[in-house]
Amino acid sequence: QVQLEELGGTLVQPGGSLRLSCAAAGETARITDMTWYRQAPGRQRESVAIISKEGITRYADFAKGRFTISRDNIKQWIFLQMNRLTPDDTGVYYCHALLDGKGYWGQGTQVTVSS
């Protein structure tokens, strides 16, 4: 079992930056991939960025060059640094962890990009 808690969502102006954090607790040593997803109002949840236990990363096209995912394997946190935010980045951001083939979700944190 793994519990995930996202932190850091807030209101930010267009062009601004924001750093999201996700804290994992429980059987964290066996977590493999960790992923940030987001869900905008009226849209399906989509993958933003994924990081393996070895630190290999992949990004959605909209995130490339603006977002950076990182991971602390000691404290079992992952982070999402988001730069040059636009209103299209508004949504609930979720942390997902894969453990023994089973996925675990956090409750999400709201990011609103608006002037």
pLDDT value at residue 87:
97
Q: What is the pLDDT of residue 73?
A: 82
**pLDDT of the residue at 106:** 97
Q: What is the pLDDT of residue 44?
A: 97
pLDDT at 100: 92
Show the low-confidence residues of the chain (pLDDT under 50): none
Query: Tokens 């750093």 label which residue?
Result: 19
Cα–Cα distance for residue pair 32/16, rounded to 1 Å:
31
- List CB contacts of 54: < 8 A, sequence separation 6 or more: none
